[in-house]
Chain A
Amino acid sequence: MASRGKSSPILSSTPLEVLLFLNGWYYPVYFIAEILMFIYKGLLLPYPPATLTLDLVLLFLYLGVEILRLFFGSKGNLSQRTLPLAVSLLLSLPCSVMSVYFLLLQSFVLRVEVILNAILLLFYLLELLLGIVALATFARADIF
């Protein structure tokens, strides 16, 4: 809120907000696509016992961490607070580890999965860079 006689500039990063918004729509599509692909792979490919269950559990954990990351990132950016944004940046590390797992280290990797995870990693990279810049902006403004 601006007090009379002094206007506070808006420090929220619009590109970061755009990326988080689009990521918030892209991730559910990715999740549904991964579920369908796991059904396809489970029926067609010879999975060792319990590996498919492991992959599915990891996917659901990924969903939880990603929701938290996007929520904290968006709220931290819009309210110009450093703590939620920092939590979001920290959470992007396990999220990118999960994405790399689904890209490279899974039992069976489909070509479509490679492309979908690559797009997600691109999102994470851009959000990390913009998040660090936004964090610096908020932290600098907090000092004064």
Chain B
Amino acid sequence: MTLIGSWTSAPFGLYRNLFGFVVPRRSLSPRTFRTMTAISSLVPARFLTLTAHLVIVITIFWSRDSNVLACLPLQYTQEQYQARDTELIVALSVTLGLFVVELAGFLSGASMFNSSQSLLSIAAHVSASVSLLFFLFEQWSCTLYWWIFVFCSFAVVFPDWRPLSALAAHCSASVCLSFFVFQQWECWTYWYMFGFCSVLPAATEIVIFIAVFGLKKKAL
């Protein structure tokens, strides 16, 4: 019984009562009680959704052939294939880079107990995992990957670790733009890079500015 009890044991001075709810050992103020019990269930949920998303991204990296073929015309040259393949590789590499940022923030404890960040992260990773599953099994065109990427990257660009997320955005912008120049990508791809790497960080900075100076909120 103790074996099963410890298998489902909750951490950090909490324990599971008869109904399976996580409760603290000692008495707490109601506000601390609410945040603690909510947070201790969010941590494993966030980790598992993050891992599921990571597994799917690595799987797509490994078997990206069918997705690249889906966005080429029926008669294609080797150069066209290479160009599309490189584009998808860059998208997946940027995703993996952002994963490193998010994992660093999560495992170091910087955002492990921030419930709003956790909820945002869980929502983004669940939606990303589901859409990437369809991307993989239904062999969606590789351009669609950028849309999934933009919508589901909010959790990382929205400050997990504010200076680091700006750094990540600018690094990925540099990588993408160097590919843009040297591989002579089409002009419309620039709009995607612009949208993600320039607009989103700037928009979050403007929001933070207004919140701190206009609405007198505490800087996070």
User: Do these two chains interact?
Assistant: yes
Write the residues of chain A forming the contact surface with B, with a CB cutoff of 8 angstroms. Answer: 17-18, 21-22, 24-26, 29, 67-68, 70-71, 74-75, 111-112, 115-116, 119
Give the distance in Å from the alpha carbon of A15 to the alpha carbon of B48 in the complex.
18
Give the distance in Å from the alpha carbon of A67 to the alpha carbon of B8 in the complex.
11
Let me know if B58 and A17 touch, CB within 8 A.
no
Q: For the complex, would chain A's binding face be called helix, strand, loop or mixed by DSSP majority?
A: helix
Let me know if A112 and B55 touch, CB within 8 A.
yes
- Given the complex, which residues of B lie within 8 Å of A29, measured CB to CB? 48, 51
Q: How far is the CB of A118 from chain B (nearest CB, A)?
A: 9
Name 9 extra pairs, CB < 8 A, besides A18-B109, A24-B7, A26-B47: A17-B11, A22-B47, A29-B51, A70-B7, A74-B9, A112-B55, A115-B55, A115-B59, A116-B55
Give the distance in Å from the alpha carbon of A67 to the alpha carbon of B9 in the complex.
12
Write the residues of chain B forming the contact surface with A, with a CB cutoff of 8 angstroms. Answer: 3, 6-7, 9, 11, 44, 47-48, 51, 54-55, 58-59, 62-63, 107, 109
User: Given A18-B107, A22-B44: A119 and B55 within 8 A (CB)?
Assistant: yes
Let me know if A67 and B11 touch, CB within 8 A.
no
For B48, give its contact among A26, A71, A115 (CB under 8 Å): A26
Q: For the complex, would chain B's binding face be called helix, strand, loop or mixed by DSSP majority?
A: helix
- Given the complex, which residues of A lie within 8 Å of B62, measured CB to CB? 111
Let me know if A112 and B59 touch, CB within 8 A.
yes
- Given the complex, which residues of B lie within 8 Å of A18, measured CB to CB? 107, 109
The chain B residue sitting closest to A24, CB to CB, is: B7
Find the residue from A18, A26, A75 having the highest chain B CB count within 10 A: A18
User: Given A111-B63, A116-B55: A25 and B7 within 8 A (CB)?
Assistant: no
Can you list 21 contacts pairing A with B, beta carbon distance less than 8 Å? A17-B11, A21-B11, A21-B44, A22-B44, A22-B47, A24-B7, A25-B48, A26-B47, A29-B48, A29-B51, A67-B7, A68-B3, A74-B6, A111-B59, A111-B62, A111-B63, A112-B55, A115-B55, A115-B58, A119-B51, A119-B54
The chain A residue sitting closest to B63, CB to CB, is: A111
Let me know if B59 and A25 touch, CB within 8 A.
no
- Given the complex, which residues of A lie within 8 Å of B6, measured CB to CB? 71, 74-75
The chain B residue sitting closest to A26, CB to CB, is: B51
Give the distance in Å from the alpha carbon of A64 to the alpha carbon of B220 in the complex.
44
